[in-house]
Amino acid sequence: MSALAREILEYLECNPGGCDTLVGITKWWLLKKRVRTETNDVQNALDELVRLELVLQKIEPYGPVS
């Protein structure tokens, strides 16, 4: 089974009543999950670079920008 097919199946396991169009599955099911995963991966990479003192973290008094 392809990785993409497994990803769709995982969504359906968590959302048994899931039903959508091709565009909806792509945009709402898969893209949303990938953005979350990529955001976590980027945060981990930035944390590593800060730990290694290769980049500096600047903390603004008004909090993070999202």
Break the chain into its structural domains and give their ranges: 19-59
C-alpha distances out from residue 13 to 10, 16, 28, 46, 57, Å: 5, 6, 16, 32, 39
* Whole-number pLDDT of residue 13: 96
* Whole-number pLDDT of residue 59: 82
Q: First and final CA of the chain: distance in angstroms?
A: 36
* Whole-number pLDDT of residue 62: 78
55 is written with which tokens?
Answer: 């980049």
pLDDT tens, per residue, the chain with 66 residues: 999 999 999 999 999 999 999 999 999 999 988 898 899 999 999 999 999 999 999 887 876 655
* Whole-number pLDDT of residue 22: 95
